[in-house]
Structure 1
Amino acid sequence: MKSLVNLDGKVGLVTGIANEKSISTGVAEACVEAGAKLVVTYQNDKTRAFIEPVLQRLGITDAYLMDVTRPETLGEVYERIEATHGKLDFAIHSMAFAKRDDLHGRVVDASADGFAMAMDVSTHSFIRLAKMVEPLLEKSGGGSLVTMTYLGSEKVIANYGVMGLCKAALEAATRYMAYELGPKNIRVNAISPGPLMTRAASGIAGFDGLMAAAVERSPMHRLVTPEDIGGLTAFLVSDASRLITGGVHFVDAGYNIVA
């Protein structure tokens, strides 16, 4: 399929690929189709085995371990990107985690350690990633950072629990970093997809009901796909969006306007 945007000559970092159905898989596909050279990261050796088919299909050879709870792995990824490419044009943050009890339980019952862990992996990791790649983006004369959020940041979604707080903070971080990095020509945006079945979503109780409601109530009566998210992401990291920053951009068939 011919891409609607041009990423020829651009080098991008994509995090969060877990398997063929991941949001980040759709993002990687769209960016490769648009001409980008990609570096991807995986959390551990088990994850690497699951993403191998994606890497082979897309011809991605630069795949490095990066566990955001281990700061040294971010430094190692930085060094490899700098040594191999010398720059970076964009980076995609797509990772989140919360303990099951904190995800499904009441927010008022969230444990202190569970809340801290959820915020660290789901929100502060975007800040750490931005700090890591900032010098590489500067070498390109600027660039684009994109993270993935969800409607639970601004509306109460059943069984989304503490993750709703994490996504609200993530969107605030997007705005603040857009303000701080704008003078360096670095754009920061968040994408808010509608519900779709991924490995992460499978851990949310009643998620099938969320998807059914999205089809029934959205103006276009359709579910979003990883390819839809990938298309928007490719646009946001392209030069076509050079003055778009600090926003939360929905791709959900219009569900957010009626939910």
Structure 2
Amino acid sequence: MSDTSKLSLQGRKGLVTGIANDQSIAWGCARAFRDLGAELAVTYLNEKARPHVEPLARRLAAPLLLPLDVRQEGQLEAVFGRIAEAWGRLDFLLHSIAFAPKEDLHGPVVDCSRAGFLTAMDVSCHSFIRMAKLAVPLMPDGGTLVTMTYLGSTQVVEGYNMMGPVKAALESAARYMAAELGPRGIRVHAVSPGPLRTRAASGLAHFDALLNRAAEKAPARALVDIEDVGLTTAFLVSDAARRITGNTLYVDGGYHIVD
């Protein structure tokens, strides 16, 4: 008989970053974590974002709601300091943070500025590495780190532009961290959702055409939603996935396998 209790997150402590509103991928993941019994710490970008995130944190009964702009010196360290103080440990974290300056994102890759590219890499990729470094001391018995990526990392997607190389770097970082942290019992994943409507995605050029094409061409003939992504991510942080690490897992109705 299979032990379905391995899917439970009861008693687990998790950090969720990147919730902007109730359409966010991070919100879909947070709901799935909570439904399976996890206790969550939630971050919000700034005071402008807080009124949108705070009600969601209450719905999750999250005991920790913390500001986090990874571009602000010391904020990431402060988040992990509060987690260490409140819980003394961390079982999993979700990195669902990405940013590129609009003027760089909307132009050809060869036209992006050095400053814009470095900003995108810092916020969207290096912040995950920084989180991993801070999480390791809180995971003496192992844990799971998950980040969000996109198909534009391996294929040229119209309008994705400079975020393609940035997400490619993020996926590579996840693989290297999986290899380095595996002996400590820490697993690392990148999850690659199909196109779905989020505030971040709305900033991409030609996004409606991308949605339509995915719905028409994906073998499942349907778009994914944040619940689909959340359930998959919750599985990855559970003991049911204890022998899975270093993957980029597509949650896209099979869209990535067609031309």
TM-score (norm 1): 0.96
Question: 2:56 — aligned with what?
Answer: 54
Any residues of structure 2 matched to 1:57-76 within 5 Å, and which?
57-76=59-78
The DSSP-based 3-state class of the residue aligned with 1:210 is: helix
The DSSP-based 3-state class of the residue aligned with 1:160 is: coil
The answer to whether the 8 Å contact 2:6/2:238 transfers is no
Correspondence for 1:15 among 14, 17, 35: 17
Any residues of structure 2 matched to 1:36-185 within 5 Å, and which?
36-138=38-140, 141-185=141-185
The DSSP-based 3-state class of the residue aligned with 1:86 is: coil
The answer to whether the 8 Å contact 1:88/1:136 transfers is yes
1:208 aligns with 2:208: yes
> What one-letter code is carried by the residue in structure 2 that aligns with 1:60?
A
The DSSP-based 3-state class of the residue aligned with 2:243 is: coil
Measure how far apart 1:102 and its partner are. 1.6
Measure how far apart 1:61 and its partner are. 2.8
How many pairs were matched up? 255
The answer to whether the 8 Å contact 1:4/1:34 transfers is no
- Quick one: distance in 2 between partners of 1:75 and 1:4? 31
The answer to whether the 8 Å contact 1:6/1:238 transfers is yes
The DSSP-based 3-state class of the residue aligned with 1:161 is: coil
- Quick one: distance in 2 between partners of 1:155 and 1:209? 16
Name structure 2 gaps, 5 residues minimum.
Answer: none
Question: 1:218 — aligned with what?
Answer: 218
The DSSP-based 3-state class of the residue aligned with 2:81 is: helix
- Quick one: distance in 1 between partners of 2:174 and 2:246? 6
- Quick one: distance in 1 between partners of 2:13 and 2:155? 35
Q: Which runs of 4+ in 1 moved over 3 A?
A: none
- Quick one: distance in 2 between partners of 1:242 and 1:51? 31
1:192 aligns with 2:207: no
Q: Which stretch shifts more, 97-106 or 194-203?
A: 97-106
- Quick one: distance in 2 between partners of 1:52 and 1:72? 22
Q: Cα deviations across residues 183-230 of structure 1 (Å, max 9, x unaligned)?
A: 100000000000001000010011011110010000111111110000
The DSSP-based 3-state class of the residue aligned with 2:162 is: helix
- Quick one: distance in 2 between partners of 1:190 and 1:93? 9
Q: CA RMSD in A?
A: 1.2
Correspondence for 1:24 among 26, 31, 36: 26
Pick closer, same or farther for the CA change 1:92–1:232 going to 2, 3 Å: same
TM-score (norm 2): 0.96
- Quick one: distance in 2 between partners of 1:48 and 1:8? 27
The DSSP-based 3-state class of the residue aligned with 1:224 is: coil
Seq. identity, %: 56
> What one-letter code is carried by the residue in structure 2 that aligns with 1:257?
I
